[in-house]
Each structure stands twice: as structure tokens, then as C-alpha cells.
Amino acid sequence: MASESLTASDYIKHHLTNLTFGQHPDGHWGLAHSAEEASAMGFWAIHVDTMFWSIALGALFLLLLRRVARKASADTPVGMQNFVEWIVDFVNGIVKGGFTGHNPMVAPMALTIFIWVFLINFMDLIPVDWLPQVVTMLGSGLFGMDPHHVYFRVVPSTDPNATFGMSLAVFALMIYYSFKIKGVGGFAAELTLHPFSSNNKLLQLVFIPINFLLEFVSLLAKPLSLSLRLYGNMFAGEMIFILIALMYGGGWILGIFGGFLQLGWAIFHVLIITLQAFIFMVLTVVYMDLAYQVGEH
């Protein structure tokens, strides 16, 4: 696609635009045909590619684990069962070391987050032009669309809507269990009586709004950092792959050099996608543990 009469700027912009479905200015609903149209569709627009790959990879995860569970044997595990048991033991170890409460949901949630985010991130290792090129051929061949107006991003974690959606789900669980375990008064005291406190009642009243401001900012920073960390790292990785792909349109010498760069970056990127899935899982466990910690109020 890099060689199809697109400038480097247009090529990058094309690869960073989602396949968007939403309402056009004239009132009808349909796919956006440009980045400007996608932006104008506003809040209720849907990134079809992000939704498709998120759901598809989640379904793949469920089907694989279901298949392994159905064929599980009490004998010495081999093959996929051995691999899955290793991951389950690894996640259980993280949960036991980082979660001091008792909630049977936390370990399965941590396992789901780790594998799901890893699969989503893994899509970044597929060459940037392969899947978009397939969709472009389908869109232009079946629907007569302009190839330059067929957008398709295959890495959901490079879409902030996806990372914010996951982090807000974790944040909602954290808030829910904070109220459930600590009660309304306990959670309110956690936000208003720390870090500054005093035995003087009048002085403590002065500290309450200051404490609330500090703790409320800290509370809101949790979903922001959780989502932006994943998004920022994966977006940077995708951008590097796109820049390397541009080299294939610069002649065979630059193309060979780009091939070596792509291989090296892909090998290094395996560590990044795994680490980001691990960090997202660990922070989820830590945030759930904070919801269960009852301090002195």
C-alpha cells in the first residue's frame, strides 16, 4: 500500500485511522470515508475494527481454554494443557502475592486480562499492510469503495477507546468493592482523612477538602495511567512498524535494510507486548487489593 500513490504522510494517516461507523451530517448512518468524516461523527461513532478484533480475540481465548478444559487429563499434562496450566499457576502466584482479600473472581479476571491483552497486543506483530490490504481489496471489489478510503486497524490496544474501556471496567469494580468492603463512611473517610490528619477538630475540618482533592486526583489517576500506559506503548510500537514499512517503497536496498529493522523490532516487541499485558494484569490486582484494604479511619 505504501507504493500506491500515497505520500508518506498520507500513508501514516491512513494506517492510523479506524474503520468508523456513525451518523453523517445529513442524518444517515454509515461508514466514514475519510479521517475528517470519522472525527465529525462524534461520541456515538463505533470503531468497527477495534470492536471486531477485541471480540474475536476474546472469543478465541474462550474457545481455546474451553477446548483445553474439556480435554484436560489428571495425568502428566502435555502440549497445550501443560502451557495453560503453567499460565494459570503463574497468574495464581501473582494474585496470591498481590491480593490480600478473598474474592474468587480476582484470579479468573487476572487470567482473562493477561491473555486477552496479550492476544490484542500480539496483532501488532502482523505486518501492517497484510490485513488492511485484504480489507481494502474486499471493500473496493465488493462495494466499489475508493481503496484510499478503506481504513482498518488491527491492534485494538492502539485505540484509546479500547484501553480506556478496559481500565474503566477495572475502575468500576474497584469503586464497587471499596463501597462494599469499607462502607460509605469508610470509603469517604479514606478520601478525606488522609494524608493530613490532626486531633484538633477544627484543624481536621480544614484538612478535609485538601485531603479530598489530593485523594480524588490520585483515584482518577488510576484508570488514566492504566489505559494510557498500554495505549502509549502499543501506539509507539505500531508507529515504528509503519515507519519501517515506508522503507519498502524506497528501493530494494532500503527495503532489505527495512526488513532487518522489522525483524529486529518484532523480536524486541514480543517483550513489550508481553510486558504490557503483565503490567495491566498486575495493576488490576493491586487496585482490587486497595479496594479491600481497610485502614484506620
pLDDT at 60: 96
Cell, residue 186: 469508610
pLDDT value of residue 4: 52
Walking along the chain (297 residues) 10 residues at a time, the average pLDDT comes out as: 68 92 92 89 94 97 92 81 93 95 95 97 94 85 68 95 97 97 94 89 92 95 96 97 92 92 96 97 97 75
Nearest to 49 by CA among 113, 132, 128: 132
- What is the b/e burial string over 81-119, where b = at least 16 CB atoms within 10 angstroms of the residue's CB? beebeeeeeebeebbeebbeeebeebbebbbbbbbbbbb
> What is the reported pLDDT for 149?
73
The set of catalytic residues is 225, 229, 233
Confidence (pLDDT) at 297: 45
pLDDT score of 3: 44
Residue 206 CA to residue 247 CA, distance in Å, equals 61
Q: Taking the CA of residue 214 as centre, how many other CA atoms within 13 Å lie in the half-sphere pointing to its CB? A: 11
CA-closest candidate to residue 173, choices 273, 92, 287: 287
**Residue-level pLDDT at 222:** 96
Residue 72: what pLDDT? Answer: 86
CA atoms within 13 A on the CB side of 190: 19
Helix-then-strand count for the chain, H and E: 9, 3
pLDDT, position 73:
83
What pLDDT shows up at residue 198? 86
The answer to whether 107 and 91 have CB atoms below 8 angstroms apart is yes
Side-chain-side CA neighbours of 31 within 13 Å: the count stands at 14
133 neighbors 141 (Cβ within 8 angstroms)? no
Q: How far is the C-alpha of 295 from the C-alpha of 187, rounded, in Å?
A: 10
Q: What sign has the CA pseudo-torsion 269, 274, 280, 283?
A: negative
* pLDDT, position 133: 87
pLDDT, residue 5, reads 62
Give residue 249's region: left, alpha or beta (phi > 0; psi -120 to 50): alpha
Residue 121: what pLDDT?
97
